[in-house]
Structures are given as C-alpha cells and as structure tokens.
Amino acid sequence: MQCSLFHEAISARLDGEPLGMPARALDEHLAACSGCAAWSADAARVTRRARLAPAPAVPDLTVPVLRALPRELPGQRAAARGRLADSALRLALLVVGIAQGAMAWPVLTSGAGAMSAPVHMAHETGAWNLAVAAAFLAVASAPRLAAGALPFLGSFAALLLPVTVADLGAGHVHAERAVAHLLVLAGVLLVSAVAWRGRSGRAVRAVGGRRVTA
C-alpha cells in the first residue's frame, strides 16, 4: 500500500476523524516504515503548535455594527401606520354602533320616536335598527366578520338611502329622522373599509408566503 494513504490516515487520526483503514494496519506500517513514522511525528508537532498558538487579537466591532444597522426594519413604519388605521376604523365603528343602539333601544322598548307608527311596527323597526347596531359592534370587535356582514349591511344602506331621500322630498319623514339614517351610512362605509383592509392584508400575506416558499 502506498505511503500517501497512510499519511491521510495519520492526518485523520490527528483530527479525530475516521482513518479509512484498520488502526492496527496503520500502527504496523508506522512500526515498519521510518519515513511515515517521521512524517507522523512532524505532523503531530505541527498540529500541536497550531492548536496551542495564541489566537490573533480581533477588534470588537459590536458598536460599529450596531450603529450601521437601520433604526427601523423595512416595512416596520408602514406596519405601524396600518395597525393605527385599523384601530381608528374599529374605534369609529364602535362609536357608530353604540350610537345606533342608543337610538334603536327606546323604539324597541317603548315605541318612542317611531313617528307615531303602530306599536308592533315601532318594535319591529327598533329590533331591526338594534340588529344593525349589533352588526356594527360585532365587526368592531372581530374585523374578520366585516366581509360576511357587508352584503346585508350594504344592501340595507343601498335601499334606505334613495327611499329616505324620496320620502324627505315628499314630506313623509322629518329631517331629524332622515339625518339619523346617516349613522347607518357611516357604519356601512366603515365596515366596507375594514373588509377592504382585511382583504388587502390577506393578499399581502399570501404573496409573502409564496416568496418565502419559492
């Protein structure tokens, strides 16, 4: 067997790696080959010196590296603005929902403020408006519900607006009653904004996921 193979085995032994041959075969060769024995001694001496040599001084670059880092991660400021906008929308929707419920509750319980309508019709109107208020409050507390509530709330507002304008022109509804319907319109617009932002956020996360897995 060539001595070069034994040299590789000697190097592997010094590094604590597999020899690639039986240890007994290596020891027998070293006992019989003076050249390989000398090579093994030299290699062991060089390895020991390299391991015991002091490590060169390395400057502490912690401060320069930290100073070179950006103050904010990319997109962090935009994410903060997005969270602030979401919170503002939810707070506004909460206020609209409370106001809508405050207007609907007296009509539901006593029939007050229902433009002299029959008692059952007044109760029915109060229940309907209270349900709308509950929908606003539900979306304010759980924005993921916005997309599901939008068809109901949007169709109600789309029908209520032209009917109210026509009745106002014909004198069938008082101005203060018509103005109160603006709460419904404002709430529907807020729910639409919450639904749109939720959909945009899911689209951005989906694109980010594809980029990560690509």
> Do 129 and 178 reside in the same domain of the chain?
yes
Residues of the chain above pLDDT 70, percent: 83
> Do 33 and 90 reside in the same domain of the chain?
no
Question: What is the extent of the structural domain holding 106?
Answer: 82-213
Quote the CA–CA distance of 66 and 171 in Å, as a whole number.
Answer: 71
Question: Has residue 208 got a pLDDT over 60?
Answer: no
* pLDDT digits 0-9 by tens, 126-169: 788 889 999 999 999 999 999 999 898 989 888 888 888 887 78
Residues 6+ apart with CB under 8 A from 201: 82
Q: Of 1-10, 17-26, 119-128, which range is least confident?
A: 119-128
> Do 86 and 47 reside in the same domain of the chain?
no
> Is 67 a domain residue?
no
> Do 22 and 99 reside in the same domain of the chain?
no
In this predicted model, which residue has the larger pLDDT, 165 or 204?
Answer: 165
> Is 68 a domain residue?
no
Cβ burial of 161 (10 Å; 0-12, 13-18, 19+) is middle
> Do 128 and 37 reside in the same domain of the chain?
no
> Do 43 and 106 reside in the same domain of the chain?
no
Q: For the whole model, what pTM was predicted?
A: 0.52
What's the domain count of the chain? 2
Residue 145 is predicted with a pLDDT of 92
Candidates 96, 84, 183; CA nearest to 139 is 96
* Other CB atoms within 10 Å distance of the CB of residue 180: 18
> Do 167 and 105 reside in the same domain of the chain?
yes
